[in-house]
Structure 1
């Protein structure tokens, strides 16, 4: 009996190293989020290819439903950024600097956050500068069609404005997709750097809402630029793949355990949080709340998105 017990103990000891090699926390949620971030935005982007037999007009690209969804996504983004990403980022980079025994006299965490904000800002503005001279009147608009520009109904005395075809649509579409693709990598990076399953799910919810609306608008924009459906589908596939790529990169960086790896992770978290700030305060809120139509539903949906993230954080899923 003693020999049998010792043999069982030896077998248990032999098995325990394999049992200790468990996947990092949140890996299953990240894999599921990666699949969702690839398939759902791609499906939303391909939907206009099936719905429209001819290039859609400006009114289709600025539907009230898409605007309301964007406002709800803005509330989710705001809550995720202020209540989740920012506290985690500040704690992470502080721990990394303490591990390296670095004492700062300069507000480095806030500076990194601002650099993430300016990175997306510069990227978008460079893409807009490269537009053709005939499109100079649209340089102040967001990269994606929104409700901000022409939701005021035209008066009976003035003819409705025509939307001119933009020459060099392929070049402009390429710049647009490139800017959004790099943007999506940073968004996915924010998800990949999370550790807990609850944090992964919260960031995934925010990204899915935003990316689905962006993919739908991007498809309408490309179709309106007279691109052929195969080219539009290729652009949408590239855009849909970027967030999963960012998730993979963030997961690899988050697996590092050394002090330098933790500092690198903290810097990337700050850049990603700055991206979330930019999306919320310069893309979603000004474009949607600056329009007279549906103000009360937009504000209610914005508060609902923020309340959703608050409730999720409160119950600690």
Structure 2
């Protein structure tokens, strides 16, 4: 039962660490001296302090990349291979097909297709034209043109039976003339036109930003569940803390960066708290799911080995995808702090390699 208690403690720590690092940028803004007012959808930042913060975040992300690389290749994939060998010993598998590599690859492509689906859905978010939804106290060029092309009806050449123009027709003519003058003013004053376009464009971004946030939360939650699942399936206290250390370094850094960017984009703190709460509880959910699977199957049975091969293999594929496509790929694209980043990447790998050596002994 000590293992179960350890997993429960780790699940609680996971939720606390993820939530605190996710909302930490809100309080960090006092140190950065970020203005509370939002200008054009973004907050004003002290550039020198923001540069120092970015440097620190980059180095921590590089360190986390090395940690994940070592965790995937030195711990998780060998665990899957070991479970496959157990299934062969139980007589469940009778050939030399690389089942471990197959399941890990399935986890890799599962996350790949989830990411591609997210990008596809984002590309389908409708982008409304900027000429829609103009504030009522302004006049748009498109509405002016449409009004200008309207034909003003008149009775008997615009006169009634008394030979005097109807008041309605006179009002419409005056309105049309005013709209034409407004159109000329907009064309002659590009600053007003540009301001209108900017206001409307910011309004039209709202739906897309909400949808993007939902997809980001869902994708990260999916990752976090499998990360927690990998911990919940472990059968020794040393393995639990080993994986907890590796995943915590990575997930805390990612949530910190996401929280910072969302806040700087002008998102309200209350909305950030809600997003981070849902992201924080996903890893504990994965751990609890792993505990449930471990308790419902006996410690040394073919069913337990099947569960480990399938679920931990998918988890390893998930972390493999994150390591190469999100961490190392980002590291290759950065052209700043090159040697320092490489050193931190190697330091992260060396740390987990040393911990793995201690765990085996």
In 2: Cα distance, 1:100 partner to 1:69 partner: 45
In 2: Cα distance, 1:56 partner to 1:74 partner: 30
1:108 equivalent to 2:85? Answer: no
Distance change (3 Å), C-alpha of 1:229 and 1:310: same
Q: Is the 8 A contact 2:43 2:266 kept in 1?
A: no
In 2: Cα distance, 1:174 partner to 1:134 partner: 13
| Structure 1 runs (4+) greater than 6 angstroms displaced | 133-136
Post-superposition Cα deviations, 1:221-270, rounded to whole Å, max 9, x if no partner, equal: 33345433222211111001101111111122123124224312221010
Q: TM-score, normalised by structure 2?
A: 0.68
Aligned to 2:138: none
Query: Which residue of 272, 282, 300 corresponds with 2:325?
Result: 282
Alpha-carbon distance, 1:26 to partner: 2.9
Secondary structure of 2:335's counterpart equals coil
Which deviates further from its counterpart, 101-110 or 226-235? 101-110
Aligned to 2:71: 80
Alpha-carbon distance, 1:309 to partner: 0.9
Aligned to 1:160: none
Q: Is the 8 A contact 1:78 1:277 kept in 2?
A: yes
Post-superposition Cα deviations, 1:158-213, rounded to whole Å, max 9, x if no partner, equal: xxxxxx96542111100110011011101111111111111111110111111111
Gaps spanning 5+ residues in structure 1: where?
A: 1-22, 137-163
1:48 equivalent to 2:25? Answer: yes
Query: Which residue of 110, 113, 133 corresponds with 1:119?
Result: 110
1:260 equivalent to 2:251? Answer: no
- CA RMSD in angstroms comes to 2.5
Distance change (3 Å), C-alpha of 1:134 and 1:114: same
In 1: Cα distance, 2:285 partner to 2:69 partner: 23
Alpha-carbon distance, 1:73 to partner: 0.7
Q: TM-score, normalised by structure 1?
A: 0.77
The count of aligned residue pairs is 267
Asked which structure has the greater CA Rg, the reply is 2
Aligned to 1:144: none
Gaps spanning 5+ residues in structure 2: where?
A: 30-35, 128-200
Q: Is the 8 A contact 1:81 1:277 kept in 2?
A: yes
Distance change (3 Å), C-alpha of 1:118 and 1:224: farther
1:37 equivalent to 2:14? Answer: yes
Alignment of 1:123-142 (within 5 A): 123-132=114-123
Aligned to 2:246: 206
